[in-house]
Amino acid sequence: MLFRLDAERAHALALSGLDWLQRLHLARLLVPAPPALPVRAFGLDLPNPVGLAAGLDKNAAHVDGLAALGFGFIEVGTVTPRAQPGNPRPRLFRLPAQQALINRMGFNNGGIDALLRNLDRARYRGVLGINIGRNKDTPNAQAADDYLHGLRRVHVHASYITVNISSPNTRGLRDLQAHAALDALIGQLREAQERLGAQAGTRKPMLLKIAPDLDERDMDDMADVLQRRGIDGLICTNTTLARAGVAGAAHAQESGGLSGVPLRASADRVLRGMRARLPQVPVIGVGGIDTGAAAAEKIAAGATLVQLYTGLIYRGPVLIHECVQALRARAEAGDAPRAD
């Protein structure tokens, strides 16, 4: 029924339905609780290593309903300092035969104030990541101001903070991944992170979410900056501008970021590349996980944790249980996720 609706409308309807089920204590009927598989990452203890990727709940309006599905951790956002509508509709397209999505949402969100109000109402007390970005009309020369504002505002609410400079749907954002720009941005954010941690008496890990379209030199430059600046972790990866695996499909020509199964190979390439360059930096693997086996492949490629989004759209909540079960079986065979 949902796939007969416009993709964005179906997204909103599904989340509203989940909220309703959670309030009636019926959400667990959708999927059995996943088995326990405790893991430690970024100094945080998680009940299992399967999380929700940012983008599905940008305004943190559905955290309790999503938590009832059994995620080991949840990441909300991307949130910007000021509310913005994002790009014109239609801006979300399904490619069912390829188990993929193309989106050009453009950081549509209600702004940091709205997100924090929603979190104040939420009952969830598990591991929560908050993904921050810059507003569309903020030039890159002032981007650090937006990220610093976001870091300061969400610090008390977040278990960890993710810096998103890799969305392809905000003009010029990926330019912040270049060596000099990245060095300047991460340098300022790391100073603010340590200062905020000292003031609050608790240090919050800071992660960087990167693109799957990086070449070897890009990864070398990025690793140099992140090693020197002491980043706490990476998320590999965001969506791709490439169209490998979807050529000729309906909507394949739409602009925006491609996610789902066709993203898996490039996301895994960057995951392996960055893990090799930064062996001590924990990585969250995301992109193309549609089965438990695919989640296990991310761990084998060097991820400590994994996140779901597009696979969840096509497979439903059962995918969470399947992924945890596959990783548990892998751990019982003697190949557990590494603790970072």
Write the DSSP symbol of residue 212.
S
Instruction: Choose, from 159, 166, 167, 259, the residue flagged as catalytic.
Output: 167
Catalytic (active site) residue 166:
no
Q: How far is the C-alpha of 312 from the C-alpha of 14, rounded, in Å?
A: 12
Write the DSSP symbol of residue 17.
H
Residue 166's alpha-carbon distances to 46, 55, 109, 176, 308, in angstroms, are 26, 13, 17, 8, 17
Taking residue 4's Cβ as centre, other Cβ atoms within 10 Å add up to 6
Write the DSSP symbol of residue 202.
S
CA dihedral 319, 165, 96, 15 (to 10 degrees): 60
Closest of 105, 152, 32, 61 to residue 257, by C-alpha: 105
SS3 content of the chain, % helix, strand, coil (to 5): 45, 15, 40
Q: How far is the C-alpha of 90 from the C-alpha of 126, rounded, in Å?
A: 34
User: DSSP letters along 235-254, please?
Assistant: EE---BS--TTTTTSTTTTS
Q: How far is the C-alpha of 154 from the C-alpha of 161, rounded, in Å?
A: 8
**Residue 131: how many CA atoms within 13 Å on its side-chain side?**
26
Handedness of CA 233, 205, 47, 315 (dihedral sign): negative
Q: How far is the C-alpha of 21 from the C-alpha of 255, rounded, in Å?
A: 35
Residues marked as catalytic: 167
